[in-house]
């Protein structure tokens, strides 16, 4: 299952999976781009392992990973409780 977490003003979306059997949570970052279609990356929690970077500069990757580190505890919690919408009763 993929759960929405946050959408930024530039339409960048952060989503995440439910907790995987190995204890990881897969976090997706995706930004629409007129030229390339989408820029994207995958970050696994709790290790912050980055994979599948497409279109982002190293500075952008660092910025998104920094943000993910700040909210990782929430993402991990939501991955176990049905996502943000379920946790917030929205």
Segment 1-52, tens digit of pLDDT: 888 999 999 999 999 999 999 999 999 999 999 888 899 999 999 999 999 9
State how far the alpha carbon of 11 is from the alpha carbons of 7, 33, 58, 61, 64, in Å.
6, 10, 19, 16, 14
Q: Where are the alpha helices (DSSP H) in 28-87?
A: 58-81, 83-87
Q: How confident is the model at residue 70 (pLDDT cuts 50, 70, 90)?
A: very high
Domain boundaries, the chain: 2-87
Structure confidence at residue 1 (pLDDT)? 83
Please name every residue paired with 17 in a beta bridge, in sequence order, or none if there are none.
2
Please tell me which residue, 84 or 46, carries the higher pLDDT value: 46
Instruction: Say what the pTM is.
Output: 0.85
Question: Averaged over 51-72, what is the pLDDT?
Answer: 95
């Amino acid at each position: 299952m993929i759960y929405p977490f946050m959408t930024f003003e530039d339409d960048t979306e952060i989503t995440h999976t439910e907790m995987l059997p190995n204890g990881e949570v897969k976090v997706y970052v995706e930004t629409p781009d007129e030229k390339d279609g989408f820029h994207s990356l995958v970050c696994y929690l709790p290790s912050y392992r980055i994979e599948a970077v497409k279109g982002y500069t190293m500075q952008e990757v660092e910025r998104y990973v920094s943000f993910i580190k700040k909210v990782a505890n929430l993402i991990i919690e939501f991955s176990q409780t049905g996502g943000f919408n379920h946790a917030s009763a929205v």
